[in-house]
């Protein structure tokens, strides 16, 4: 239950609007509201992967901040922000060269105060209320790219700093994973103003409303959000259209304008009209309607084109031996630590799983060569995988380490992306076409219910740190299940296609 108490109604104590809030607002307007007024008991606990990212981020921050040493840190009682701001003002007046996490406060609308804590304030020459110097804000971010939310927060830092020192810095800096980036304040300050209005307008801002913005589940954005279970329940209770694959955040408002707010209404829509209103090609809206029909009826629907099923037996062959391939990777280490291959012999009915694992990062090359040797020993077997990542990685590793005499182009010709064939030919009553959702709908269960790619990365870290083989074995079991799930999806698709192949 969300308890709403708009910030603007708070009279006696200062209410803050912070860089942290702005960051989350940019990702999701509803998140800003829930973070401010939601019942914290409804939040999900942080996942191991989230904790790992936080730790990686802290490590990166430490490394990046070393260039500013010696850094001066304001001392004040925790959460006494005004005392912190007073101390930082004193340090700025004294002309301290670099200030770590300096609290800056400025007036906002109504009773609201803006509070900003850039990672570092660096002293520069030039005029300001302080004298012949002023400060420029720097923020450290783990990402490689200057994401819009980073830039918006940097503009906010610059704005609050300008209010404090009486002059704008010429830029705000982002210290990213591989480069230093100057944020264009000319470009981002107008965006900041629009964002602040949207959040804080005293009559119509997100934080002055009694209700949160409408839920919209978008896996890429919601996956790491602590409100996911709560929002998912809300979406599920209303069978919200965002749970339908293909209904994106940009398409949704047009559907609502067209009066299409239920799965049933979308299932009965005309793809031609939808394509016109959404300004997309008709094959996209045809898919959306097929998808709605699948979810509405709870059954699989063939995506026939001119009464023809798009797949032939050649697309998904079953030979005497099939291979099912799945990779585990740690992007933070730029490392492939496992090639899992399930060999299915249809004649003997045997299934054999091969785990070609890099037990240390240095063994990546050896694991790659073992993989090549294995797949080369089944020279004619199709290699099924799920999504393009496996094929892309094989190409990349071939370029990086060489091919041990295996023709990589010929090898890749044997690769079959079963995910692509599923989404091109069938609509299923699922919320996502991720392997987990599909295979579960087809009756497959993973032995470790909570296992996933992100968790596998954490287990690999745990294995490296502790040497406890339980972690490694859990990864292998999870990877084997992914291979088996891929097999299940392929098998299901072959069975489903039979009636169109007679």
Q: Is the distance from CB of 414 to CB of 383 less than 8 angstroms?
A: yes
Q: Is the distance from CB of 113 to CB of 14 less than 8 angstroms?
A: yes
DSSP state of 144: S
- Closest approach, Cβ 193 to ligand SF4, in A, equals 23
- Residue 243 touching ligand SF4 (CB under 6 A): no
- Residue 34 touching ligand SF4 (CB under 6 A): yes
CA–CA distance, 367 with 152 (Å, rounded to integer) = 43
- Residue 28 touching ligand SF4 (CB under 6 A): yes
- Residue 228 touching ligand SF4 (CB under 6 A): yes
Nearest to 161 by CA among 237, 215, 99, 73: 99
Q: Select from 30-38, 128-136, 297-305, 368-376 the region that touches ligand SF4 (CB under 6 A).
A: 30-38
Q: Which of 105, 153, 206, 225 binds ligand SF4 (CB under 6 A)?
A: 225
- Residue 294 touching ligand SF4 (CB under 6 A): no
Total residues contacting ligand SF4 (rule CB under 6 A)?
12
Q: Which is nearer to ligand SF4, 202 or 224 (CB)?
A: 224
Rg (alpha carbons) of the chain, rounded to whole number: 27
- Residue 221 touching ligand SF4 (CB under 6 A): yes
Q: Which is nearer to ligand SF4, 150 or 459 (CB)?
A: 150
Nearest to 434 by CA among 446, 450, 423: 423
Q: Select from 24-32, 165-173, 377-385, 393-401 the region that touches ligand SF4 (CB under 6 A).
A: 24-32
- Residue 433, classified by CB atoms within 10 Å of its CB into exposed (0-12), middle (13-18) or buried (19+), is buried
DSSP state of 431: S
Q: Which is nearer to ligand SF4, 38 or 137 (CB)?
A: 38
- Residue 241 touching ligand SF4 (CB under 6 A): no
- Closest approach, Cβ 494 to ligand SF4, in A, equals 36
How do 383-385 and 350-357 pair as beta strands?
A: unpaired
- Closest approach, Cβ 456 to ligand SF4, in A, equals 23
Q: Which of 8, 15, 231, 358 binds ligand SF4 (CB under 6 A)?
A: 231
In which order are the strands placed within the sheet that holds 350-357? 350-357, 335-345, 321-330, 383-385, 415-417
Find all residues with CB under 8 Å of 80, minimum gap 6, and list them: none
- Residue 138 touching ligand SF4 (CB under 6 A): no
- Residue 22 touching ligand SF4 (CB under 6 A): no
- Closest approach, Cβ 32 to ligand SF4, in A, equals 8
Q: Which of 31, 240, 339, 490 binds ligand SF4 (CB under 6 A)?
A: 31
Give residue 279's region: left, alpha or beta (phi > 0; psi -120 to 50). left
Q: Dihedral through CA 248, CA 254, CA 257, CA 261, nearest 10? A: -30
Q: Which of 26, 30, 354, 385 binds ligand SF4 (CB under 6 A)?
A: 30
- Closest approach, Cβ 23 to ligand SF4, in A, equals 12
Q: Is the distance from CB of 347 to CB of 320 less than 8 angstroms?
A: yes
Please give the residue ranges that form the binding site for ligand SF4 (CB under 6 A). Answer: 28, 30-31, 34, 215-216, 221-222, 225, 227-228, 231
């Amino acid at each position: 239950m969300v308890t709403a108490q708009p910030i603007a109604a708070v009279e006696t104590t200062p209410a803050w609007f912070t860089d942290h809030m702005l960051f989350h607002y940019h990702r999701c307007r509803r998140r800003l509201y829930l973070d401010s007024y939601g019942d914290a008991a409804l939040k999900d606990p942080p996942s191991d992967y989230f904790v790992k990212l936080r730790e990686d981020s802290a490590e990166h921050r430490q490394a990046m901040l070393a260039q500013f040493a010696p850094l001066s840190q304001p001392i004040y009682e925790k959460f006494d922000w005004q005392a912190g701001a007073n101390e930082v003002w004193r340090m700025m007046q004294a002309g301290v060269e670099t200030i770590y996490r300096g609290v800056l406060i400025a007036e906002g609308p109504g009773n609201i105060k803006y509070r900003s804590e850039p990672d570092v304030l660096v002293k520069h020459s030039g005029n300001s209320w302080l004298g012949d110097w002023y400060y420029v804000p720097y923020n450290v971010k783990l990402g490689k790219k200057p994401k819009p939310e980073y830039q918006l927060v940097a503009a906010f830092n610059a704005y609050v700093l300008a209010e404090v020192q009486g002059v704008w810095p010429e830029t705000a800096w982002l210290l990213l994973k591989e480069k230093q980036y100057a944020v264009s304040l000319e470009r981002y300050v107008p965006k900041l103003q629009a964002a602040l209005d949207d959040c804080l307008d005293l009559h119509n801002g997100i934080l002055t409303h009694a209700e949160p913005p409408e839920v919209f589940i978008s896996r890429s954005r919601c996956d790491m959000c602590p409100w996911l279970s709560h929002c998912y329940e809300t979406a599920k209770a209303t069978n919200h259209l965002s749970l339908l694959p293909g209904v994106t955040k940009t398409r949704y408002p047009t559907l609502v304008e067209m009066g299409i707010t239920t799965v049933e209404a979308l299932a009965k829509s005309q793809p031609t009209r939808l394509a016109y209103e959404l300004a997309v090609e008709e094959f996209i809206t045809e898919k959306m309607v097929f998808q709605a029909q699948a979810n509405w009826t709870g059954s699989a629907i063939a995506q026939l084109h001119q009464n023809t099923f798009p797949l032939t037996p050649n697309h998904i062959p079953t030979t005497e031996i099939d291979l099912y391939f799945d990779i585990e990777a740690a992007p933070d280490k730029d490392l492939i630590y496992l090639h899992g291959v399930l060999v299915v012999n249809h004649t003997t009915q045997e299934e054999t799983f091969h785990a070609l694992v890099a037990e240390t990062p240095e063994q990546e090359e050896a694991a790659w060569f073992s993989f090549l040797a294995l797949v080369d020993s089944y020279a004619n077997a199709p290699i099924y995988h799920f999504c393009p990542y496996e094929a892309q990685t094989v190409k990349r590793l071939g370029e990086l380490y060489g091919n041990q005499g295996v023709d990589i182009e010929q090898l890749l010709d044997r690769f079959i992306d079963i995910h692509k064939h599923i989404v091109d030919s069938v609509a299923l009553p699922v919320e996502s076409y991720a392997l987990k959702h599909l295979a579960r709908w087809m009756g497959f269960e993973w032995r470790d219910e909570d296992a996933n790619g992100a968790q596998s990365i954490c287990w690999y870290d745990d294995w490296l740190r502790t040497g406890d083989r339980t972690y490694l074995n859990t990864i292998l079991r999870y990877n084997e299940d992914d291979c088996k799930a891929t097999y299940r999806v392929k098998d299901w698709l072959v069975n489903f296609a039979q009636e169109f192949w007679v």
